[in-house]
Amino acid sequence: MTMAVHDHDKAEVEFERPRVTKKHYVAVGNSGWPETFERTKLDAALAVFLKPFGTSPPELSELHRLHRLQGERRSTENWHSVKGFMARQLNISPRVIPADMVLAFWGYYVHFLATREAN
C-alpha cells in the first residue's frame, strides 16, 4: 500500500478519482500510470482507521454525500477536497491521514454513490 509521506523533500502522493471494479480500486497516481488496490483490504483498513473516531465508511460516505448536496463542496471533487473533508470530519490535520486511507475512502464513496443510484 502506498502511504503518504508529508516531507518537504518529497511530493505528497495524490490520486485522481478512483474507478471501482468488482475487486479493485484503480486510480492514476503521481506517476501518471493506473495503480490497482484490492478493495477488501483497503475497505477493512479504512474501517479500522475510522473506528477510533467513532465513525464508519458508510456513515462518513453519507455525510460526504449530504455535504456535497447542500452545496458546501459543489466545486470539483479532487484529492485535496476529499482529504480536507476527512480531516474536518475527523478533526485532525490532513497531513496525518495516510494516502491509502484517502484513496480507500474516496473509492468507497464512489462505490457508495453508484450503489445508491442503482437502488
Domain ranges of the chain: 19-118
The residue assigned the cell 445508491 is 116
Q: What is the pTM of this model?
A: 0.84
Residue-by-residue pLDDT tens, the chain, 119 positions:
444 444 444 668 899 999 999 999 999 999 999 999 999 999 999 999 999 999 999 999 999 888 877 765 556 789 999 999 999 999 999 999 999 999 999 999 999 988 887 77
d(CA 104, CA 16) in angstroms, rounded, equals 12
d(CA 119, CA 113) in angstroms, rounded, equals 10
> Long-range contacts for 82-87 (Cβ within 8 Å, ≥24 apart)?
82/106, 82/109, 86/60
